[in-house]
Structure 1
Amino acid sequence: MQLPRLPQGVPRYVLNTGIAIFVLSLVLWSINALNIASIGSLRGRLTQPLHLDEHKDGEHNKGQLPSKLDATTDRRCHAVPNPPDVAVIVKTGANVLYDKVPLQLLSAWRCAEDPLIFSDLATTLGSYQVYDVLDNVTEAVKNSPDFDYYRKLQDYKKNGQDVRELRNEGEAGWKLDKYKFIPMLKKTWTMRPNHDWYVFLEGDTYAFWTNMLLWLQQFDPNGLYYLGEQTYVNNEGFAHGGSGFIISRGAMAKVLDDDPDITIRYDSIAQSEYYGDYVLMKALKEKGVELGLYKPMLQGEPPSSLRYGPGRYHEERYWCQPLISLHHVTPLDVDTVWQFEQHREDLSKPILFADMYQHFMAAHLPEGSDELEDWYNYSDDVHIRGPDEEDEDRPIPPEEMTPTQEQAYLSAEHCAAACAEYSRCMQYTYESSEQKCSYSFSYRFGEKRPPKSDGKRYKSGWIRSKIEKDIEENPCQSVVWKGFHTA
């Protein structure tokens, strides 16, 4: 190839020198880029979730950081050897689908294979199909006023309207929700037959995947198991739907096989009931499937309001049990808990309440102070108000009312002193406009509560010496895989 002719008067050695400088600069830039890439790779390994590499010898790589981060890998998905076969079923509402479900699919439910998503409106969510769980409800039931909201949803979809505009119709959505449970059970058994376990969640339920698998390994899926956090109506216990509940293959077969009319029968029953999860319990109990008592492992609380340590009742303790679920989680909660799971060194070990306390509460308590202004820490086990106020739930027994307790309502300082004196009080909240002092027998973190226009304002505090003493006296010698019973 012929070189281009140089401009007249420019010596060729100038061109050669320029080429040499360019080549040298290119070499130096490449070395520097490699160094930057190496530093960037190290920084990424230190700050991003790690992943498991199935194709490498685990013992050989033990203690080493992976050289590559794979955004499609969740460390939890392969943490439990020989896991049970779990089907995940999500029940949600069309008006909150896009607020709650997408991040869950990207994080908490990432290990679930082909999860079923049921709603009150058929639609799609990216590559996921969202099924109308109520499409086969009988016309006789659909003609009831409870289905006015359902018909409105269908109209919104037909006319291309945004169903999120219907978020404020909470009562209407709640009335409709009670009809979803039995059809959901039936459709699940038809669409996902013969899995070991069926895990039913709501759009704002976080599932601890490793904990759940480790727990379910301890049961025979052919048994009649219905697992959940018990709540009560008419003194009958049933699994709280928002906390999630789990049904074994054996129980699904027992309830649904040879009973083609179960949905029709219970659609009619649901009309006279208020809670769909209560109706579900009735259908299971009819076939001899009873609720197992596993409070507090399945939780109706988000991280901010979780109890730690002693409970409201003497027989309760929230400490050495693994957490299976959380409820009312925000997208921020979902991401924060998922990141916590990803960064654990050994994912084959269960996450206990004690672990959650250290990460989500102990590490965030105020430094240099035992109290926070404009903060509500969910102290609600005992309430003390002025002598002229009406009696309220959960007062201190009269025989335990010392002069200090009697004055607890006067100020935040009086409330703190009374809590310190009261043996079971771990923390307190004082509400100034109502002159109300409240205790908690557990330790809970809480949330920011700015002052209200009506004058309501909170101040919260923790008796750290009591908390530290309680933790010291109750170490977790082993994992507690059982719950307790409270009415």
Structure 2
Amino acid sequence: LFLLGLLYLVADYDNPIRLALRFNIHRAMSFIAGPLITGGGGVIVEFPIDWASDVAIILKTGYGTQERAAAWLRALPAEMNPHNVLVIGDFERSIVIEGNRKAEPLEFRVHDVVADVLRHDHDTPMGPRKVLSSQRGDKYRTLTAAVAAGEDELARNLSAAFGWELDAMKFIPGLDLAHRTMPHKKWFILVDDDTYLIQPSLDAVLGSFDSSRPYYLGNAIGDYRQRFAHGGSSVILSHAAMNNLFSTDGTRAATTSARYSLAAARRASLTEIWGDRLLASALLRLGIHIDEDSSRFFNGEQPWATRVRKDRFCAPLATFHRLSAGEMVDVGRVFGSRTTGELVMWIDLWDIYGAPPFELFETRPLRREWDHVGPLDEHTTTIEDVPMAEACLRRCEADGACLAWTWEERRAVCHLSPWITVGREAPEKVSGLHIGRVTELAGVC
């Protein structure tokens, strides 16, 4: 143990052994502590924020998804200051959002931050770099040429084909631009154009962290070698983390370290598949790890597919993801009509989206033509040769982790999940809950 502790102290921040120790210690502590199911998700607001002045939002879009960006801006919660929203993409254009009868239209400039990465005269600590011959550079210039020529259909087809590659190049320069234009903000939220931000919940979440410390918040994914915030669930950096990353504070050694980290990240963006992982690598070189406990606040799904796990029932729910332009407007309408400042917990979705009262499942446990499990993955259990829905219910009741079940009539298979979802219609399926566990968890909120 002494040797492991010594290795942890002296090893580089991205040393695999150090990362494995950190990851497994956190898992062990989480297991010992058990699920956090207290009312309010254990959030204590010690550092209140003012959305008019404290928070910068970086909205990431692309040429092929600009309609989603417009819908996102229309759905912006009233408490969020539109003048603190910076729109970044792979093209230059203005998005005009018409105001209501009293308000003037708002114009948002889309900043082409991909061009910044591809500038051949951008210096690094190793000297000027030449990246104009990169494959992604060639693809970007093809898209830019189509946009300049007014060939909208071609540009959209190109964006659909390789826009995801250009997306990885937006993270670092987009945050850099936000830091240069809004350097005094306490928090910086990087968000995709298909992700909705639930302002009252974020108000509580951010208010529980001290922005003068280097925090990296989000939905942690990946294995022990590379834990990073899922970009679709939004990525949040504190003022101190941004200062460390862009080297405006600290010693000369810290500034040099940050410059090397950024230079490496910009080079890696020419080939890296996931920009959210690239950002995490840059932060890790500076000793900034994602706050694992913050994962329970962030959601990478649509409302109907949101997985309410046992440790999240009472926690603030901060985001939705994978929304179309139409869904974004609908979600904005639903949550914009709620009482100002009303915290949204994960379990609140059950009532907000009109799911049956839990008491109903006590007398009518089978919900036909519905699915409360949702998409299957490595955390779900599938049991074959289950002849009827009642047998699937019994399997869930006998499983120590099951919260919801779905039985497929045609295939005679039973799916068990450690979460519940509001769900949606599903022909030839029957679904239900482990109502005893669900009511116990919900009753704590």
Tell me if TM exceeds 0.5.
Answer: yes
Q: How does 1:293-372 map to 2 (within 5 A)?
A: 293=292, 294-310=294-310, 317-345=311-339, 347-360=340-353, 362-363=355-356, 370-372=366-368
- Secondary structure at the residue paired with 2:443? coil
Once the two structures are TM-superposed, the CA of residue 185 in structure 1 deviates from its matched residue by: 1.8
- Is 1:130 aligned to residue 100 of structure 2? no
Please tell me whether the aligned partners of residues 227 and 245 of structure 1 are also in contact (alpha carbons under 8 angstroms): yes
Matches of 1:168 and 1:435, distance apart in 2: 43
8 Å CA contact retained: 1:157, 1:163: no
Tell me which residue corresponds to 2:31.
none
Count of residue correspondences:
360
RMSD, aligned CA: 3.0
Counterpart contact for 1:319–1:354, Cα < 8 Å = yes
d(CA) in 1 for partners of 2:155, 2:135 = 20
Q: Single out whichever of 253-262 and 293-302 deviates more from structure 2.
A: 253-262
Once the 2 structures are TM-superposed, how far is the Cα of residue 290 of structure 1 from its aligned partner? Answer: 1.9
Give the equivalent residue in structure 2 for 1:172. Answer: 162
Following TM superposition, by how much is the alpha carbon of 1:131 offset from its aligned partner in structure 2, in angstroms?
0.7
Give the greater-gyration-radius structure (CA): 1
- Tell me what 2:74 maps to: 106
Paired position in structure 2 for 1:97: 66
Structure 1 residue 260, shift from structure 2 partner: 5.5
Q: Secondary structure at the match of 1:108?
A: coil
1:373 aligns with 2:365: no
Question: For 1:290-322, what per-residue CA distance to the aligned partner results, in whole angstroms no more than 9, with x for missing partners?
Answer: 211211201111111112252xxxxxx221100
- Spell out the pairing of 1:249-264 with structure 2 (5 A cutoff): 249-257=239-247, 258=255, 263-264=262-263
Output one character per residue of 1:38-57: Cα deviation in whole Å (capped at 9) or x when no partner. xxxxxxxxxxxxxxxxxxxx
- 2:195–2:321 Cα contact (<8 Å) kept: yes
Aligned to 1:39: none
Residues 387-438 of structure 1: per-residue CA shift (max 9 Å, x gap): xxxxxxxxxxxxxxxxxxxx42x45564345335545433323345655321
Question: Do the aligned partners of 1:307 and 1:318 also contact (CA within 8 Å) in 2?
Answer: no
Aligned to 1:184, the other structure's residue is in SS state: helix
Q: CA deviation at 1:207?
A: 0.5
Work out which of the residue numbers 130, 142, 151 in structure 2 matches 1:161. 151
Letter of the aligned partner of 2:306 in structure 1? L
Contact 1:137/1:264 (<8 A) preserved = no
Q: Residues 177-227 of structure 1, C-alpha deviation per residue, up to 9 Å, x if partnerless?
A: 212211112122122222111111000111111221232223222211111
Relative to total residues, which structure has the larger helix share, 1 or 2?
2
Greater length-normalized contact order (CA 8 Å, ≥ 6 residues apart): 2
Distance 1:305 1:102 in 2: 24
What is the CA-CA distance between 1:113 and the residue it aligns to?
Answer: 3.2
The answer to whether the aligner puts 1:287 opposite 2:255 as a matched pair is: no
* One-letter identity of the residue aligned with 1:328: R
Secondary structure class of the residue paired with 2:64 = coil
Structure 1: tracts of 5 or more residues without a match: 1-79, 311-316, 387-406, 451-457, 478-487
Q: Scaled by the length of structure 2, what TM-score is found?
A: 0.72
1:446 matched to 2:423? The reply is: yes
Report the equivalent of 1:476.
444
Given that 2:58 and 2:190 are in contact with CA atoms closer than 8 Å, whether structure 1 keeps it comes out as yes
Q: Which amino acid aligns with 2:272?
A: E
Structure 1 residues 422 and 168, CA gap change in structure 2 (3 angstroms)? farther
CA distance in 1, matches of 2:439, 2:409: 31
Deviates more, 1:297-306 or 1:360-369: 360-369
1:203-282 map, 5 Å:
203-233=193-223, 235-257=225-247, 258=255, 263-282=262-281
Q: Which amino acid is the alignment partner of residue 368 of structure 2? A: L
Relative to structure 1, is the Cα distance of residues 419 and 213 closer, same or farther in structure 2, using a 3 angstrom cutoff?
closer
